Amino acid sequence: MANQDRLRVVGERVLHEGRSYDFVELSVDHPDGRRRTKPMVRHRGAACVVPILDGAGGPEIVLVRNDRVTIDRFLLEIPAGGIDPGEDPAVAAARELEEEAGYRAATVEPLGRFYTTPGLTDEMMHAFVARDLSFVGQRLEPYEVLTVEVMPWAELRRMLDHGGMGDGALIDGKTMLSLLLAMRAGVLPG
């Protein structure tokens, strides 16, 4: 596609500055010659981690059940959080694992990265796998309401197979994709 056929950002106005992200309004020139505004979230990036324990019956995954007020329900998720300015994504993933789930990893390895919701935000999520875990205790932020759950991979795999459908389904996008990436990489049995 030629450049003249693309949307072109010609300005940006910050509506609200936040700790982890900003709300902005873009001024965008469209191929039809009109200029329109587009609200979006400028994000500093995030990291998530698939923490694996060696269970007697096979791999077990450390998850958190997170109270997501934006959708008025608890979601079963892998630990995740924002990347601090200048912080390496792997360091952020290891930090979030300790803070949210209370585990320290001897190894943290990359699985991939992806945009979370490109129609709304430029947030880039960096996914990792963590192994050789030691329990050190949670260090939750005052605003976090979550509990730790350890689940057998076989059970999570069945939940993934339901594709977010039905009661008790796994429906958090970063969790679903990161587990699938770990399976495709051979980290979790397929």
Return the closest-CA partner of residue 127 out of 183, 49, 182, 184: 49
- Kindly state the tokens that stand for 111: 């699985």
Q: What is the dihedral of CA 153, 139, 128, 147, to 10 degrees?
A: 30
Active site residues: 144
Q: Which helix (H) or strand (E) holds 31?
A: none
The dihedral built from the CA positions of residue 24, 117, 74 and 180, taken in this order, carries a sign that is: negative
Measured between alpha carbons, how far is 140 from 43 in angstroms, rounded to an integer?
Answer: 22
- At 29, the amino acid letter reads D
Q: Is residue 83 within 8 Å of residue 89, measured between CB atoms?
A: yes
Contacts of 137-144 spanning 24+ positions with Cβ under 8 A: 137/102, 138/99, 138/100, 138/101, 138/102, 139/98, 139/99, 139/102, 140/99, 140/100, 141/99, 144/66, 144/100
